[in-house]
């Protein structure tokens, strides 16, 4: 078995990261060209108003289903533009997971819900960044674009520690105060930064501070951001592209994510809030779904036209789906029992819908997949073998994904054994 020691790999990826930050990526880059774009719809996307419509059934709601570019596969009429790209997408309709609360579900789904080993696993974007490392010189391995505050998302890193945290751009914007104030000389700025770094290095050694390591990273990344301001500045987005992707948060953020991937950021996660539609769900869907439909279809069109779908894996997911049953407030509540995820690119076999739910959408019909199945599948698509590679945590080998689940072969162009 090609058992890769966490310690060995950690050190190597750390050095690679440092080299990349210093602009010397050629010395430390990993050979893979794979990239990952996660679109996280926080609150829970309704499978019935997207990938698994049930029109005309007791829980189907008022919307119709429409044909897609793949004969026999129908999406909700809420996704008319994306339906034209169904030939690039694989939908999994038989997801059945464990948590129906946001507080537990958000973390468990993004950690892949591994068996309880007494440690917190990293989120998928952090885990993938950990194994794939930075892709291009000077660019972070993993970035997040989200509404609200930006910063380093340490809470996603689990046992990998703060230094693996993704850099989040709040509202897609570059951080303010990016440029040195006019009343300080470059020499003073360099001297104080150097002393700060030295003191944090001493502190990290003396106190075992992982925060100190992450803090020093923020100062280095500030330099990267300053030099690549164009990529992180939504005001510099091309107006025609903004129109194609949609001039709203999710539209601009997905467009910006495309730019970051093109610039060599290995992993980008776009977070959108507000999908938790417990009340007035159907009017809400008419407002919400186009905000996903337009940028997702534009993204797939662009990635395909630029040849990027060969190596960029795109995943659209949430912490759960929504109840088929419509509640007293015309809303749909949380439903992990039977829901859908969608994916495209990087060797995922497109143009298919894997799995099915019962006629009323309440349960999975036949085999169900948990999030662990998806983690095995996504890691395989990214070229990381979940059977050959393990984390090592305090001497304990830990699998990348739940060992009670496996990759879904029907989704993968190359069988998982070919991953390294």
Binding site for other proteins (CB under 8 A): 42, 98-101, 103-104, 106, 118-119, 148-155, 162, 165, 167-168, 170, 175-181, 183-184, 188-189, 191-196, 198-200, 202-204, 206-212, 214-215, 217-219, 221-222, 225, 273, 278-280, 323, 325, 329, 333, 394
**CB nearer other proteins, residue 1 or residue 177:** 177
Least CB distance from residue 328 to other proteins, whole Å? 9
CB of 209 to other proteins, least distance (A): 6
What's the CA gap between 395 and 7, in Å, rounded? 9
Q: Which is nearer to other proteins, 307 or 395 (CB)?
A: 395
Minimum CB separation of residue 52 from other proteins in Å reads 18
Nearer residue to other proteins within complex by CB, 194 or 367: 194
Query: Contact at 8 Å (CB) between 361 and 47?
Result: yes
Strands 35-41 and 267-272: parallel
Q: How far is the CB of 205 from other proteins (least distance, A)?
A: 9
The residue among 214 and 419 lying less far from other proteins, judged by its C-beta, is 214
Least Cβ distance, residue 225 to other proteins (angstroms): 6
CA distance 158 to 148: 22
**What is the full DSSP assignment across 92-119?**
EEEE--S--SHHHHHHHHHHT-----SS
Q: Which residues, at least 6 apart from 293, have a Cβ–Cβ distance to it below 8 Å?
A: 78, 79, 80, 81, 82
Tokens 């439903």 belong to which residue? 335
Q: Is 8 or 192 the residue whose CB approaches other proteins more closely?
A: 192
CB 181 → other proteins: shortest distance, Å?
5
DSSP, collapsed to helix, strand or coil, labels residue 37 as strand
Q: Which residues of 138-175 are buried (b: 16+ CB within 10 A; e: fewer)?
A: bbbbbbbbbbeebebbbebbbbbbbbbbbbbbeebebb
Nearer to other proteins, 221 or 265 (CB): 221
């Amino acid at each position: 078995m090609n058992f890769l020691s966490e310690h060995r790999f950690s050190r190597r990826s750390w050095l690679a990261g440092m080299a990349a930050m210093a602009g010397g990526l050629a010395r430390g880059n990993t050979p893979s060209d794979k990239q990952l774009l996660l679109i996280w719809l926080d609150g829970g996307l309704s499978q019935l108003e997207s990938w698994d419509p049930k029109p005309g059934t007791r829980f189907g709601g008022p919307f119709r289903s429409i044909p897609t570019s793949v004969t026999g596969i129908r999406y909700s009429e809420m996704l008319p533009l994306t339906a034209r790209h169904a030939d690039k997408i694989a939908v999994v309709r038989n997801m059945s997971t464990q948590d129906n609360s946001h507080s537990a579900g958000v973390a468990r789904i993004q950690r892949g819900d591994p068996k309880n080993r007494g440690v917190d696993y990293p989120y998928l974007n952090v885990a993938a960044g950990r194994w794939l490392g930075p892709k291009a010189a000077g660019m972070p391995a993993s970035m997040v674009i989200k509404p609200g505050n930006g910063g380093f998302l340490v809470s996603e890193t689990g046992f990998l520690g703060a230094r693996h945290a993704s850099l989040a751009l709040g509202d897609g914007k570059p951080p303010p105060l990016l440029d040195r104030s006019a009343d300080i000389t470059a020499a003073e700025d360099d001297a104080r930064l150097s002393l700060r770094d030295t003191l944090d290095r001493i502190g990290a050694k003396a106190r075992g501070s992982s925060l100190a390591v992450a803090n020093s990273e923020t100062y280095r990344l500030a330099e990267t951001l300053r030099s690549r301001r164009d990529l992180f500045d939504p005001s510099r987005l091309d107006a025609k592209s903004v129109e194609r992707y949609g001039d709203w948060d999710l539209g601009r953020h997905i467009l910006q994510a495309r730019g970051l991937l093109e610039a060599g950021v290995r992993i980008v996660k776009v977070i959108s809030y507000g999908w938790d539609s417990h009340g007035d769900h159907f009017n809400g869907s008419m407002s919400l779904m186009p905000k996903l439909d337009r940028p997702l279809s534009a993204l797939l069109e662009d990635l395909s036209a630029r040849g990027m779908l060969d190596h960029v894996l795109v995943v659209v997911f949430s912490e759960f789906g929504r109840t088929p049953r419509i509640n007293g407030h015309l809303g749909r509540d949380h439903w992990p029992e039977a829901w859908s995820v969608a994916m495209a690119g990087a060797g995922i076999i497109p143009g298919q819908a894997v799995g099915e739910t019962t006629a009323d959408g309440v349960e999975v019909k036949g085999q169900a997949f948990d999030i662990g199945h998806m983690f095995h599948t996504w890691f395989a698509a990214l070229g990381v073998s979940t059977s050959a590679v393990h984390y090592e945590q305090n001497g304990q080998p830990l699998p990348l994904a739940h060992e009670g689940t496996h990759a879904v072969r029907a989704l993968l162009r190359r069988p998982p054994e070919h991953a390294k």
